[in-house]
Amino acid sequence: MAGALGAEVILIERDIVGGAAHLWDCIPSKALIATGAELAELQRARSMGLQASGRLDLDALADRVRSIEERLHTSVRDLLASQGVHCLAGTARFTGPRTVTAETASGAEAVDADVVLVATGSRPRVPDWAPVDGDRILTTRDAYRIREVPRHVVVIGSGVTGVEFTHMFRALGAGVTLVVSRQQVLPKKDPEVAAVLEDAFLQRGVSLLKGARAHAVERTTDGVVVRCDDGRVVEGSHAVLAVGSIPNTDGIGLDVAGVAVDAGGYVTVNHNCLTSVPHVYAAGDVSGKLPLSSVASMQGRKIAEHCMGLHNRPHRHLDYDKAASAIFTDPEVADVGLAEAEAFASGRKIRVTKVPFSANAKSLIEGDPRGFVKIISDPATGVVLGGSIVGQSAAELISVLAVAVTNNLKVGDILDSLLVHPALAESLAEASS
Ligand SMILES: Cc1cc2nc3c(=O)[nH]c(=O)nc-3n(C[C@H](O)[C@H](O)[C@H](O)COP(=O)(O)OP(=O)(O)OC[C@H]3O[C@@H](n4cnc5c(N)ncnc54)[C@H](O)[C@@H]3O)c2cc1C
């Protein structure tokens, strides 16, 4: 974006351009989930009157993931080249307030800049009680390297990443136990949404260990043992840690540049993503806002406009409270804006409408009536404040509510739209009435 706006841009990357999203996070996880979904479809086909069988070819699957990554990587590189961005392969650190030095294969290269953007991302958090070995005790990044479907995976952590990995391994045929430290999976999400997902997990044979906080993982001869603080012990062939991430802010010379970080090591930024230093910006996971690719990209675009002096144009600051997010489980989960519990906690008056997909013609035709749409609006004005969807295609459907929330549309605007029939989106209109 900065290149497109006419800036001379140097991008320093130590690994691959495109970052963790392409290598470990969004893309490989969703590619494996897509294969798991195809397997489930084949199994479900029987109930639709078809005979089908599916055999998983892990080598072909690994090739497929690699080819998706390569295509995305090439398209990002081509895009950068088309905007005249110079990519420098190396590890960067500040060596002065306006100087960044890249350690490249051919030695150190110092770059002086008017503006610096720190976008070094984050990495999985590894607690000291978990001796990760990349073989049996894994971070989410190690989990893609497994060459056979594990016998039984113990997933530790039931936030977004934990439930996605639970779904992914189960869909590929592994046994799974999910260690849930609270009384519901997805502790930050709507409890009714979490309940639908929990039911789906239980029906698919996932064991949920609720109210149990893992505090030790050990290797055995052919597997792992996970010990919880309430005395419960789970055995499995592998353990996967999904207990959050930490920012990549150590060793990059932020102190040399005078860039402030918070107690968690995240770079502190203002509403323009500017750090404590007026010519240094930070975006993405290091900025400690919402750890989502979509948010990182949007921050990058806004920063480019800001540093190129376009912030005086009509311009909307990023409102993180209006970011849509999705969880690619089966059923999918997605939400945007104000949550029901949040509104109750703050005493704000809201109108909540909930419509089950079991009343939707397309859901019934497709044989998957699980889940619901919930819309939260302002009772006085009808403005859509938020919504949650759990069910098939929730990640796509939430876009309608995201547009409504971002643009202060009213439930009447959704209701008055002539939608397709039969379509899952009809439930959005119904929940708007
Ligand atoms: C399993 C998993 C699944 C996810 N799925 C989704 C999803 O479906 N949708 C979504 O929106 N988000 C998803 N996320 C979150 C998303 O991946 C991150 O929010 C996003 O990648 C953050 O982007 P970033 O640019 O901040 O960092 P990154 O993508 O991590 O990029 C940082 C880059 O900086 C490089 N780097 C670091 N230090 C240096 C240095 N000193 N010198 C040079 N280069 C350096 C790294 O090599 C890396 O390429 C997922 C996360 C996980 C863990």
How far is ligand 1, taken at its centre, from the CA of residue 21, in Å? 5
331-431 and 10-121+246-312 share a CATH fold = no
**SS3 sequence of the chain:** CCCCCCCCCEEEECCCCCHHHHHCCHHHHHHHHHHHHHHHHHHHHHHHCCCCCCCCCHHHHHHHHHHHHHHHHHHHHHHHHHCCCEEEECEEEEEECCEEEEEECCEEEEEECCCEEECCCEEECCCCCCCCCCCCEEECCHHHHCCCCCCEEEEECCCHHHHHHHHHHHHCCCEEEEEECCCCCCCCCCHHHHHHHHHHHHHCCCEEEECCCEEEEEECCCCEEEEECCCCEEEECEEEECCCEEECCCCCCHHHHCCCECCCCCECCCCCCECCCCCEEECHHHHCCCCCHHHHHHHHHHHHHHHCCHHHCCCCCCCHHHCCEEECCCCEEEEEECCHHHHHHHCCCCEEEEEEHHHCHHHHHHCCCCCEEEEEECCCCCEEEEEEEEECCHHHHHHHHHHHHHCCCEHHHHHCCCCCCCCCCHHHHHHCC
Is the dihedral angle over the CA atoms 160, 164, 165, 170 positive or is it negative? positive
Closest C-alpha residue for ligand 1 atom 52:
25
What local confidence, expressed as pLDDT, does residue 122 receive? 97
What local confidence, expressed as pLDDT, does residue 311 receive? 73
How far is ligand 1, taken at its centre, from the CA of residue 121, in Å? 5
Our answer on whether the CB atom of 240 is closer than 6 Å to any ligand 1 atom is no
- CATH number 3.40.190.80 is the correct assignment for the domain at 137-243: no
What local confidence, expressed as pLDDT, does residue 42 receive? 86
What local confidence, expressed as pLDDT, does residue 256 receive? 97
Look-up of token digits 């990760």: 132
Among 14, 25, 398, which is best to mutate for testing ligand 1, by the most ligand atoms less than 8 A from CB?
25
Our answer on whether the CB atom of 254 is closer than 6 Å to any ligand 1 atom is no
The fold of the 331-431 domain, in CATH, is: Enolase-like; domain 1 (3.30.390)
Rounded to whole angstroms, how far apart are CA atoms 249 and 178? 31
From the CA of 252, give the closest atom in ligand 1.
41
Rg (C-alpha) for the chain, rounded Å, is 23
Rounded to whole angstroms, how far apart are CA atoms 351 and 343? 10
- pLDDT under 50 in the chain at which residues? none
Our answer on whether the CB atom of 102 is closer than 6 Å to any ligand 1 atom is no
pTM of the model as a whole: 0.94
Our answer on whether the CB atom of 284 is closer than 6 Å to any ligand 1 atom is yes
Dmax (CA) of the chain:
68
Rounded to whole angstroms, how far apart are CA atoms 361 and 34? 24
Beta carbons of 158 and 183 less than 8 angstroms apart: no
Domain boundaries, the chain: 10-121+246-312, 137-243, 331-431
From the CA of 15, give the closest atom in ligand 1.
47
Rounded to whole angstroms, how far apart are CA atoms 311 and 305? 6
The fold of the 10-121+246-312 domain, in CATH, is: FAD/NAD(P)-binding domain (3.50.50)
Rounded to whole angstroms, how far apart are CA atoms 1 and 41? 40
How far is ligand 1, taken at its centre, from the CA of residue 360, in Å? 37
Beta carbons of 258 and 291 less than 8 angstroms apart: no
Closest CA to 76 of 374, 300, 349: 300
What local confidence, expressed as pLDDT, does residue 52 receive? 75
Rounded to whole angstroms, how far apart are CA atoms 127 and 238? 17
Helices 58-82 and 26-44: angle between axes, nearest 10 degrees: 140
* pLDDT, mean over the chain: 94
What local confidence, expressed as pLDDT, does residue 315 receive? 57
